[in-house]
Structure 1
Amino acid sequence: MNRQTAAPDYRDEWYDEQCGGCRFWVALSGELGRDWGACTHVESAFDGQVLFEHDGCASFIVRADGSFG
């Protein structure tokens, strides 16, 4: 679910619910890991898929330490 931040229907709370801040998003190694990672959340429609850090989904769970990426 690529949510474009410039879209008129983009909700403010989605800024804090991007894949890079989800506890189940694991960054790829190397250069790609700056922006891309794998979803490891079994309840997400994107489980097992590689996603851009700014994507999001309804199964988002914030990281315990509040980090991003």
Structure 2
Amino acid sequence: MSDGPWTGSDRAHNGECHARWAASSNRSTGDPGYRDEWYDAQCGGCRFWIALGGELGQDYGACTNSGSAFDGRVRFEHDGCAVFTVREDHSFG
């Protein structure tokens, strides 16, 4: 890492974050128990998911749904929870 201001573009750091954060996923599309109906209810398509800035924002955001157990936590865009709320414009990410 450099001594300058943090820009969020340190690939090694971002890779370490991804590994740590992915380990705390609520749902993984690779799990045998992943249900088909969850595919269209992923965090990246929820109206309460706000993408992070920088490179990590390509995959991660913060949950802002007060009814979710994940409110205020960083979530992988392909994760999900029981209180998913679709975006009115049906955008993702």
TM range (shorter): over 0.9
Alignment partner of 1:10 is 2:34: yes
Q: Which residue of 1 aligns with 2:75?
A: 51
Q: Which residue of 2 aligns with 1:28?
A: 52
Aligned residues: 69
Structure 1 consecutive aligned stretches of length 4 or more whose deviation exceeds 6 Å? none
Structure 2 unmatched ranges of 5 or more: 1-24
- How large is the RMSD of aligned CA atoms in angstroms? 1.0
Shift of 1:35: 0.2
- % identical equivalent positions: 72
Q: Work out the CA distance in 1 between the residues paired with 2:31 and 2:73.
A: 24
Q: Work out the CA distance in 1 between the residues paired with 2:52 and 2:85.
A: 19
Shift of 1:5: 1.4
Post-superposition CA distance 1:15-56 (Å, at most 9, x none): 101100000000001111100000000000000001110111
Q: Which of the two has higher C-alpha Rg?
A: 2
The answer (yes or no) to whether the contact 1:27–1:36 under 8 Å persists in 2 is: yes
1:26 partner amino acid: I
1:38 to 58, 62, 73: 62
Larger RCO (CA within 8 A; separation ≥ 6): 1
